[in-house]
Structure 1
């Protein structure tokens, strides 16, 4: 009997740490990730809806934002743990004293569209023309990037600030503006209504959309973020294999207009990876040229390769 009691105590001592560990994991607060209504965020929606995060043993709360300002405020207030964002926003956050690190690229889309009544066929023909953008944003950066890639000099486009996307779209379609730079789903909607897409980010080589987390969040949740990425990539591969299956999700979860969802060209999602140093350097130089930052940040302050190493 004494031997039996000793065995019970020994077994209890062995089981208790595992029971506590399982309980702690079950009670762990979910990671809150900020998303937008765009193609970058779709793999996260799929992973949540199809139980892929749960399968990987990670709790994820997706929080949708309608503006970058709201997202950045939530990040800095600690209301979310990470976000779908862009290289420029990460650099600006660090410059403003809020540490933030890129953990991978995402696969979104921005594009330059010209008015349905326009005969313009190329970026070069936009020289001197009015182009609607939101100033000092990734949209502005893409406009300048596209102009440079087309061989146009600095200031070749007459950029007109139109911050609100619905207004920008209507100005383009009513021929009040020669061209507009827009994200999805506005880009597809513009095309459906007769606009011509001159160039888009997914065929221009621009590496701009990213997922990012504060270093403190990464340090505390490294394992959870790695499991998050396994679920993300599984979801991305499912979309790549059967894109038509996810058109309804564009409407239901990301508020795409039904007409846009029916013809939306899904990006080809790729395995999680970091932007090249050249891509980050180009973004930094652009910010410096606009006077939006005072000095070049260290590359190591902007990226954390450990979350997607080995992909």
Structure 2
């Protein structure tokens, strides 16, 4: 069984629902006017690349503060209101939560959502490859997409059908059900005239986020990035051919920039050989060559000019 339903009652149930939502989506602070009369339910459907989370709850407020733990790079949520109307706000933007809108919430976005009446909502959590397949730009603030008739007619029934099917499905059905969800979302997003990112630009942005989080990983490179993004190496390279640098050049540039940041740290700082090993260069001379090509200075000259120390420790 792929669908798991949980019911919550009372003040302790409010806390338990908060924990369940944190496990399925992201940590949030849940508040309700009368915790002792609280009754709610959450149904989670795990389809691998896609998770559906349906919640039915009384009037409440949910807050995800700035700086909360983020989902993996490039992940996102889509929120659809099914019952009473609410409002979500974050990053200086607000959007209605109702059957007429789909709200795109980047995986690292802070938000506050208020439901003045009892509400039923559906969250669709997408991993980075899923967001890329839909062409969604998952950086920046949340935004609401107005659903025209075609989107309203297709999306909610498709999500309902997948949840119903998941109650009796087996792991062998996961890929098919995930494909149904992504297909319905794709139609709804296109119908909503979502200003989607250039798919190649979206791939480049996702790759850059991964590189910045894994600069010290010895396996970091085009093949590793393609595997993490669930893309073929040729697809990844084609995306970068549309930009200003190759995949390898982007990785090298970000590593050199990280070296520059480390050179401006407190003295005594790391030597060139240590920095080369830290960021995957073949040796100190290899790093020095790449560094000079980027900054027209040697690491020692850069530290003398920009750092807190006026000499580079012998390597």
Structure showing greater relative contact order (alpha-carbon pairs closer than 8 Å, 6 or more residues apart) = 1
Higher strand share: 2
Q: Normalized against structure 2, the TM-score is what?
A: 0.22
Structure having the larger proportion of residues in helix: 1
